Chain A
Amino acid sequence: MKRDVLISATEVSVHYLVSGGKLFGPKPVVRAVENVSLNITKGSFFGLVGESGSGKTTLGRAMLKAAPITSGVVNYNDGEVNYNLASMDAKQLKDYRSRSQLIFQDPYAALSPRMTVRDIIAEPLEIMKLTSSREETDKRVREIATKCRLNLEHLRRFPHAFSGGQRQRISIARALVSEPKFVVADESVAALDVSIQADVLNLLKEIQQEMGLTFLFISHDLSVVAHVCDHVAVMYFGRLVETAPTRELFSNPRHPYTKALLSAIPSLDPDAINTTQKLEGEIPSPSNPPPGCKFQTRCPNAIDICRRDEPKLEAVSEVSAVGEEHNVACHRWQELME
């Protein structure tokens, strides 16, 4: 039995033209996201991890139609409406905006310093005309503020009076006040201290279950993703290199990049010896992509075929009983299993 897919990407690419190149010649193209396919099931907490420059933010924005989709299809279906994001008309887009929301990374930059907390949270309702009276707006604001554990007294204050954790709770309240179905959280805890981070993660998880939301959780921090997400996709250089249910991914990582990412997390045990090879070098420049597998320049296991052909995402056959697949894009994953 397959669970309902809320939003799916099929061979999605996002390319940007950048300045430079020869005068009158074609402009160089940066392929931020290349041929990515993934399905996010309804009610899931889907993690997207990768280093900076891996395209995870761009993919997240493409799924919100906040980045141009160059090719491929993003399909959104919540049972009430069914949209193809690439070919939506203005009316559909406006409706989609109320069904999908984004929570930003930096709670200091994301809130206007000139608006009170009440006005910040109420703004989406007013712009999208989701309420008919000021009383109704106030009621919705108070409800969501309570859910996000904000003190109702604080609604009259300005953002500067709040700590990082409180501000992030305000951002969350603003994103959720329009009762969206799909929320993209882009590095939403990266700027927070650990003691506060745990609190915000717990809050997101709680609200997700209570409101039946579907989350796309973008993060560079694998340990955070491991704790909140049910399914994880790992990106490198604009491509998906591995996707799997969280526990499966963390217990049986198949792609050399996933393995390297896992072993690079500093352990709390000072005596822990990392047996896995550490990664050399850095993510290649997007204007000069390497041939074949994009990870071959840093991969300790690269051989000739890796330098020639780009591997496709294929199913790791042994696990598919739950209907959730473990996929990996590596020529040698079977050999490397030993």
Chain B
Amino acid sequence: MTRLLDVENLTLEFDTDEGRITAVDDVSFSLEAGEIMGLVGESGSGKSVTAKSLMKLNASNAVYGADTKITLHLKDGPVDIMSLHTSKELKVVRGGAISMIFQEPMASFAPAITIGDQMVEQLLIHTSMSAVKAREVSIEMLNRVGIADAAARFGQYAFELSGGMRQRAMIAMALSTNPKLLIADEPTTALDVTIQAQVIDLMKDLVKDFGMGIVFITHDLGVIAQTADTVAVMYLGRVIEKGPVRQVIGNPSHPYTRGLIDALPRLDDLDTPLKPIPGDIPSPLERPSGCVFSTRCSSYLGPQCSASIPTFNHISPDHMVACHIYQQDQQGTQK
């Protein structure tokens, strides 16, 4: 495995009329080539802005922390993304080494330009292909993602395609520039379950064939279990648990992760009543001090939870959790 991406101490704030809002707070993770990393969290957890930071795609009022370091390891050497500023410099990553698939494919395609023209356009920008060659590559890609009659679809508009087909076309477009890293932001959320299953299978196949890394953002733990190799669980801008997907879902160790899994309606157990996580996600303007989850936590220990931010503890060599419960345990065993 080769290292593809390192994110260290990513902190991101937004300047707004109501003051400076922290969206991402000291997030670190890394990704190997050929790995699918799931980024899970509820709305407002900061998972999308984290992913957008990898291409510096956040709005102009975004302020990155001074210690933030994002490194993309490419063949020609590492690229320090935070040091890229002009749109010309950023072209190397935006649509070049990194592609992105969005949740709502209808909103991501220009409505008045054919699918084909949009695919060709980005190839002309990012590669040295001729227009004829770009057309060939695009049709081949549409074929590869399972769109029947690709040559005819090439000349159609987004509204002429069904939801599942649009998302396939979106994936074809994202992959035609041969990116090293693909960011998929809730790519299956707007799709029906049967179509979702098709798209998940397709993405797993593509990772095998192309050997790229995928950051897969979703709120659905079931989707993560079926696609990802590793997972990071986010809450209010912080990663609170991360590790291999089998360990995190099989042995959820943070009270929030456990709460998320318990709140899922499960088909194999219809008798246990649903267990919601009490309370609502606090507004980003009223971020709790200390542990961000302390206001809703069922295992609240006392003042230390609302006073200090828990650091990561190892449950296993790769499985880490940021919660005071484990800090206590560790200190206890050390004595």
Question: Which residues of A approach B to under 8 Å, CB–CB?
Answer: 51-52, 163-166, 193-199, 201-202, 220-224, 226-227, 246-247, 250, 260-262, 264-272, 278-280, 282-283
CB–CB A163/B274 < 8 A: no
CB–CB B276/A223 < 8 A: no
| Chain A residues within 8 Å of B260, by CB | 194-195
- Tell me, rounded to whole Å, the shortest Cβ–Cβ distance linking A53 to chain B: 9
Q: A198-B265, A226-B270 are in contact. Are A267 and B226 (CB under 8 A)?
A: yes
Chain A, interface SS category: helix
The 6 A-B pairs with the shortest beta carbon distances in the complex, nearest first, are A266-B222, A199-B276, A195-B277, A198-B276, A193-B42, A198-B274
Q: Which of B192, B270, B277 contacts A247 (CB 8 A)?
A: B270
CB–CB B259/A195 < 8 A: yes
CB–CB B276/A196 < 8 A: yes
B43 at interface by CB-CB < 8 Å: yes
CB–CB A202/B274 < 8 A: yes
Which partner residue on chain B sits nearest A54 by CB separation? B192
- Tell me, rounded to whole Å, the shortest Cβ–Cβ distance linking A296 to chain B: 15
| Chain B residues within 8 Å of A224, by CB | 265
- Tell me, rounded to whole Å, the shortest Cβ–Cβ distance linking A252 to chain B: 14
CB–CB A193/B200 < 8 A: no
Which of the 9-residue segments B14-22, B51-59, B66-74, B161-169 touches chain A?
B161-169
Q: Which B residues from 234 to 274 make CB contacts under 8 A with A?
A: 245-246, 249, 259-261, 263-267, 270, 273-274
B89 at interface by CB-CB < 8 Å: no
A269 to B226 alpha-carbon distance, docked (Å)? 8
Q: A193-B42, A193-B43, A194-B260 are in contact. Are A268 and B221 (CB under 8 A)?
A: yes
Which partner residue on chain A sits nearest B197 by CB separation? A264
B196 at interface by CB-CB < 8 Å: yes
A266 to B267 alpha-carbon distance, docked (Å)? 11
B280 at interface by CB-CB < 8 Å: yes
Q: A267-B222, A268-B249, A270-B245 are in contact. Are A194 and B263 (CB under 8 A)?
A: yes
Q: Which of A163, A220, A269, A278 contacts B198 (CB 8 A)?
A: A278
- Tell me, rounded to whole Å, the shortest Cβ–Cβ distance linking A315 to chain B: 24
**A195-B42, A198-B277, A221-B265 are known contacts; what are 5 more A-B pairs with Cβ within 8 Å?**
A196-B276, A199-B276, A246-B270, A268-B261, A271-B246
- Tell me, rounded to whole Å, the shortest Cβ–Cβ distance linking A283 to chain B: 8
Q: A196-B280, A268-B261 are in contact. Are A223 and B196 (CB under 8 A)?
A: no
Q: Which B residues from 187 to 235 make CB contacts under 8 A with A?
A: 192-198, 200-201, 219-223, 225-226
| Chain A residues within 8 Å of B245, by CB | 270
| Chain A residues within 8 Å of B43, by CB | 164, 193
Which partner residue on chain B sits nearest A161 by CB separation? B283
Which of A224, A247, A264: most chain B CB closer than 10 A?
A264
| Chain B residues within 8 Å of A202, by CB | 273-274, 276
Which of B219, B263, B274, B277: most chain A CB closer than 10 A?
B274
A195 to B281 alpha-carbon distance, docked (Å)? 10
| Chain A residues within 8 Å of B261, by CB | 268
Q: A51-B192, A52-B163 are in contact. Are A266 and B263 (CB under 8 A)?
A: no
B275 at interface by CB-CB < 8 Å: yes
